[in-house]
Structure 1
């Protein structure tokens, strides 16, 4: 599996740092057997990691936003295996909000986007794409849906010596996207200050896209935050997923 490392400012990543420091056409039938050969499409020819690199949005497609590869500072966890959740059914939500892959993908990547006009300290949006084989994407999507239903009264996730507690998880209405889409918001309190995180998960064929927005600086400075997903980013990424 080829994956990049999560970026600095995700909610759980930041809290951990703080807790530690304070197409091809179909083949023609084989005449020798009379049976058609399997069809071969571009998705079958291109390596999964390359496919994802082609599918993720570029700066030209999200006017006004920077698009960067994440760094490895203050990560909540390097892999899902490092995360412990008090309610196992809620684990997909902890992964989704920390740029960790859902299920067992062939490849995944993460990009971090920020609105240029707002500069340092504004909310960040994280896009994580993952490619699967067989029904892996559908199965992972089903796990997230079940988690939203099961974890309404919250959960606690721990990794690397840090712990984050979410008081609630609530499904949110979304415009149709891909083959299926799910949105949810989670609430958390840090240093007595409330914060709301928004997440969207979209499945298009064998690819999952997970989008999360969070204002890490507001969390660090104990200022209330409610960072919503930018429509420009969501629309552009959904269009590329198809």
Structure 2
């Protein structure tokens, strides 16, 4: 399946519809290989002073992805095509183009000029309405560094927020803040960054979190949202599952 599940479709008319959008999962075999999306070249490379990639990836994004049984107390499932924020990255429109890398990362699209990409969503086996989406992408040599540089540039330019418009909804982010604490540790990554963004649904503020790591020519994007908060009419605070990051990072090393 090649659709990406919408995660903050704040323009939807009811919280129940939003939660369905957040939680809809397919019935495919989560352990199978294959490519879940081909990367495009919507972002222009800006260059990077980061260290050179250690090695060229020898596996596709799908082969590097976690399977349903690889994370203790969690399961990995396949996103559904039934509810999507945008059919493709090229249809995502930003009021501030510089913020595009952040908008893509929070909509389960890869950043930059990729070779291939793959998406899975993690939930706890004792389900509590929280989700961590994992988007993996592989790149030609040097392109992953460019993608990380684009995200860092966006973080500096988009603190005041931005709007991302998809095919049927708009995600209005009121603020974007870089985070240096409270993120899952990624000691073996060549580069990493993390940020939180806030959006409002009705009168409640919802915080979502994103973490990005680069391992050579591969980038992992982790995105967390508290879906139950929308249904319960309360503020939400998405937290990235540490066990998911730990398991995925181990598989990337």
Do they fold alike, i.e. is TM over 0.5? yes
Match of 1:209 in 2: 220
Change (3 A) 1:207 1:43: closer
Distance 2:219 2:206 in 1: 26
Match of 1:4 among 2, 5, 17: 2
Contact preservation (8 Å) 1:16, 1:75? no
Deviation at 1:96, TM superposition (A): 0.2
How has the CA–CA distance of structure 1 residues 84 and 138 changed in structure 2, closer, same or farther, with 3 Å as cutoff? same
* Structure 1 partner of 2:161: 154
Aligned residue number for residue 235 of structure 2: 224
Taking structure 1 as the reference length, the TM-score comes to 0.80
- 1: CA distance between counterparts of 2:249 and 2:86? 27
| 1:133 corresponds to | 140
How far 1:221 moved relative to its partner? 4.3
Which of 72, 85, 92 matches 2:81? 72
Return closer, same or farther for 1:16/1:241 CA change in 2, 3 Å cut-off. farther
Alpha carbon RMSD of aligned pairs, Å?
Answer: 2.2
Aligned counterpart for 1:168 among listed residues 168, 172, 175: 175
Consecutive unaligned residues in structure 1, runs of 5 or more: 23-40
User: How many angstroms does 1:66 deviate by?
Assistant: 1.2
TM-superposed CA distance for 1:150, in Å, is 0.8
Query: Does the CA-based 8 Å contact 2:74-2:124 persist in structure 1?
Result: yes
- Shift in alpha-carbon separation, 1:101–1:54, aligned structure 2, 3 A: same
Structure ID, larger Rg:
1
Aligned-partner Cα distance in 2 for 1:72–1:199: 22
Corresponding pairs, count: 211
The aligned counterpart of 1:188 is 199
**Is 2:69–2:75's contact at 8 Å kept on the other side of the alignment?**
no
CA contact 1:109–1:130 (8 Å) conserved in 2? yes
Q: Deviations over 1:82-132 (max 9, x none)?
A: 11111111111110001012112111010011001125xx11110000011
Residue 136 (structure 1) shift: 1.2
